[in-house]
Structures are given as C-alpha cells and as structure tokens.
Amino acid sequence: MTLSCSVVSGTDPGAIVTFLESLRRGGERLPDGLTTTAIINNGDKALAERVAPIADTVIIRQSPQGFAANHNEVLRTTTAEFHVIANDDVIVTTECLAELLDVILRPGNEDVAVVSPLLRNPDGSLQPSTYGFPSASSVAFGWSGLRERISDSSMRRLASLLRRGSGKSRHWDHDREVSVDTLRGAFVVVRTKAIRQLGLMSEVALVGGEETEWHARMKKAGWRVLFTPRTTVTHTGRVTTGNRPDLEVEYVKGTVNFFAQHASRTQFTLVKILGMLRVAYLKRRHLTWQGRALPLYGRSVASIQYRDKA
C-alpha cells in the first residue's frame, strides 16, 4: 500500500511548514511510508528552503496557479495507490493517515474513491464539512444574500424538517460514518484507481467548485465519497486563500461549471445568468482591491458553455 501527498502554500508561509511537520509524524507510522510534494505557489525561495528538508519534492511557482492545476500536476504522475490532497492550513494528528487508510481499505469500501476525516476549528469546535450537491434554488438562496440573514440554528432545524441531515447538508452532528454527495476537501485521501478512470479535477476556476464537480463524476461512475469521524484534523480555514474578493468570482465560476457538467440546460442557463449578475455585483462592490480594479482570471462566467449529455 503506497501513499503520496500534495500540498500548496497559501497566504501564511509558516502554515505549510507546520502541516508538513505534523504529516511527517503520521507518515513515519505507515509501513510503506509517504512521499510528499510541496508546491510553493508564490515563488518564495526562502520558504522553499525551509520546506526542502521535510518534503520529498518541492515545486516553486513563479506565477501562482489554482487549486486544481497545482494538485493535478502531482496526481497526473503519482504511482501511489492512494493520494492525499491537503490544504496547508491543516494540522494532522499522528494516527490520522493510518486511520483513514484503514477505513478506505476496509472490506465493503472497495467503491470508496474519497475519504475525509472530521474537521475541527483551532478552538476544538466542530467545523461542518459535508454538503449536498448544489441546486439552482440553493445557489439563488446563497447568492441573493438571504442565507446570511438566517442563523445556523434555524438552518439546522430546517435541514431536519427537510430530512437533509446525515451528510446531505452541513447541518448535523457529524457523529457517524456516512456516504455524502460532496465535502470540504481540506484533507482527503483519494483512491488513484478512481482518478485514472474519471480524470483529474476541472481547472475552470482558480479555486471553488472543482472538488464538487469531481465528486459528482465519481458518484455517476458508481464511486462513493465517504465522511468518517473516526479521526480528526485541525483546519484553520481561509489561510490558504485568504479573504480575497477576487476569489469570490472564482467560486462563482466553479459553481456555474458544475451546472454546465451535471445539470439540465435550463438549470445551467438560470445559474449562469445568476452567476453573471453575481460577478457584476462583486465588481461594483469592490471597485478597487489592493489599489486596482478587481481582477478576473482566465475564463469569464459568460464563456462557460453547457456540455451536452450524451
């Protein structure tokens, strides 16, 4: 059983060092060890020198790339049976890797493509991490700003009434192992056999939506995405990307791409229109950011086209 890992540096240069140190302690307990690739996404040579002693491979980006593009480069060439996709703002417990591998290798879990542990905030509180696939109504609800006006406790009661617990939303106790539609991929183990069958993550957006779209492809092909509370990691959140308004546009692109790949043409058209309105709102709200106009990267929302389902 072989295991590899990729992690990309974010806004806090110390985070990737802390992550790799915690990961190494867990990797030492595996019989076949662990190979790690650290991607320095901002050309920071001093950080690369700090990381070099605790990573097997270090890649330095002179121009930053997106979440999917960075991890796909490693996934494309890994020969390991399983691969860890990780954010840098994660601290791994010593037993976490062994526990996750034990879960994915358990008899009856041969169809599990992805497994994720329980996520906790730095203060030890639960960090909700499971979600249902987005619908046009849920996207409209979120982008309209209505979601922000409703408390989490009210959303939890609503999820219970709609029977959207146990992994179908984030509003549940996360206290049992369950197959889910999609989840927050701060730290996941992926079966590379599934990747060879389904292909890599979509690179439409710098960040946002790529894992959800990937998980939908997995589900359609008969694979499962599994959440387990058997082991935990600490996830700070927003350290990898920071609170950047330009990346809000990228999340919109990722969502529209999900509907282009997996929804009806009517749903896609509606969400694309909502997406263009959302981007226009964000550009108006953030007329300048860091002294310049809000930048747009790569493809625009308007350029995303529906993929006819054969």
Residue that wins the pLDDT comparison between 223 and 145: 223
H/E stretch holding 114 reads strand 112-120
Examine the domain organization and report whether 33 and 74 are in the same domain. Answer: yes
Any domain includes 81: yes
Which tens digit of pLDDT belongs to each residue from 105-127? 999 999 999 999 999 999 999 99
Burial class (CB in 10 A: 0-12, 13-18, 19+), 285: exposed
At residue 45, the pLDDT reads: 95
Examine the domain organization and report whether 209 and 288 are in the same domain. Answer: no
Q: What is the chain's Cα-based Rg? A: 19
Report the predicted TM-score, pTM, of the whole model to 2 decimal places: 0.91
Any domain includes 112: yes
Residue that wins the pLDDT comparison between 109 and 288: 109
CB count within 10 Å of CB 28 equals 11
Number of independent structural domains in the chain = 2
**Closest by CA position to 252, among listed 291, 280, 220:** 280
Separation of alpha carbons 136 and 150, rounded Å: 19
Separation of alpha carbons 30 and 175, rounded Å: 26
Contact 215, 101 (CB under 8 A): no
Examine the domain organization and report whether 68 and 118 are in the same domain. Answer: yes
Examine the domain organization and report whether 71 and 220 are in the same domain. Answer: yes
At residue 292, the pLDDT reads: 62
Structural domain harbouring 213: 3-132+167-235
Residue that wins the pLDDT comparison between 212 and 159: 212
CATH code (residue 215):
3.90.550.10
At residue 155, the pLDDT reads: 65
